[in-house]
Amino acid sequence: MKQGRRALALCAMIALIAMTATAVPAMAERKSGASANATSAKAKQTTRQFTGVVTALDKTSLTVEKGGKNARTLVFTRNAEMRTVGGDLEKDSRVTVHYRTEGRELVAVRVVVKPANGDHQ
């Protein structure tokens, strides 16, 4: 009788181990897939900043150049959602562009126009 109980307990333990072994990788896969989706959603919402002088401006794009030691020029895509704060956006204005990356495109979300050196508020 004791041997029958031991055999039954042993079979139950083996079955439990087998179920756990198959469930753990599936749970890990679901968890990593969820974190990858969360990361891509977070990346879409993340904005960056770039400060410089407007060198070119049209209806669909905005080109801003940063001078100095690490000079860079970035071209931003303008869309209907873009907001302008602090004044009129025009060539030679000093601006800070808040943008997000969509594929290989830099999309301007908000542009803050800085006052000229003589226009302190």
Q: What is the pTM of this model?
A: 0.60
Let me know: does 63 contact 75? Beta carbons within 8 Å. yes
Q: Measured between alpha carbons, how far is residue 59 from residues 80, 113, 114 in Å?
A: 10, 17, 21
Span 43-54, pLDDT tens digits: 556 899 999 999
- The SS3 of residue 32 is helix
Which tokens is 30 given? 């679901």
H, E, C per residue of 26-54 = HHHHHHHHHHHHHHHHHHHHCCEEEEEEE
Span 9-54, pLDDT tens digits: 776 777 767 666 666 565 556 655 555 555 555 555 689 999 999 9
